[in-house]
Amino acid sequence: MRTDDPLHVRLLRLLRDEGAVSRAELGDRLQMPRPRLLAELERLVNLGYVAEAGLAASRGGRRSTLVELNPRLRFAAVDLGASSIDVEVVNGRLEPVAAYGEPADIRSGPKVILQRVNELLHKAKVDGAYERLDAVGVGVPGPVSFRDGLPVSPPIMPGWDRFPVRELLTREHGCPAVVDNDVNIMAIGERHGGVAHSVDDFLFVKIGTGIGCGIYLSGEVYRGTDGCAGDIGHIQVDSHGPMCSCGNVGCLEALFSGAALAKDAAAAARNGTSAALAE
């Protein structure tokens, strides 16, 4: 955890990653004077971000009170794939409250796709998943300016270049929104709760409809100056290769994506080079 982050950010991240923690342990972990820590916790409790969660195990004296992210918080996660929309609402413990998914073509453009996202989130509200959202996170299958919250020249997303995704969702739902490349978010998830939980430097490679790479360096996502650091799917690997969906020839994605592998498998089944696939 970066020590130059504001205290409230470090507190909330620790509670997000560890669950309920005692005040005493928070003080130990953050190496923070107790009066300042207690004042900040009280502020976060009053704002509704943190809640008490019972008593901790005794450390030899008076038992400390556990605190956690307020379970009443509601966050929406939106995964926009090349051929699908998945929406999930979770509580402050990051436990699923509602989930919806359906086929969709990202090439339909931002207005059509985001309108459907808003409809699914409204359905979650009608179904009782939330009264109001505290934040929305969106993953898209292309490069993103993380600072500005918008896609930048995404190869398979015509019409999305510089579209103000974050601004639109913030205005629609009255809460902060974050937009990032989908594989960066997968890498963050792996760092949060997967095999990379204690690893500061790693690559997360996604092979699906498209191919992407999330890069972690020194415990932080590395996006590059233009948000394209992990966009390996459209690196040319064969100048005489097949046409890619981005319009170029011989991209990694054109040769090894899920669609490309399925095409090769179907060809092997038809021409008799693989009896197993033919069967």
Residues known to be catalytic: 182
Contact 239, 248 (CB under 8 A): no
Contacts with 227 (C-beta within 8 Å, 6 or more apart), sequence order? 143, 144, 145, 146, 152, 181
> Can you name the residues that pair with 215 across neighbouring β-strands?
203
In 3D space, the residue among 34, 57, 44 whose CA is nearest the CA of residue 11 turns out to be 44
DSSP-assigned letters across all residues of 121-156: HHHHHHTTS-SS-SEEEEEESS-EETTTTEE-S-TT
Are the C-beta atoms of residues 149 and 164 closer than 8 Å to each other? yes
Alpha carbon separation from 215 to 182, 186, 206, 258 (Å, rounded)? 12, 10, 12, 21
- Burial class from Cβ neighbours inside 10 Å (0-12, 13-18, 19+) for residue 189 reads middle
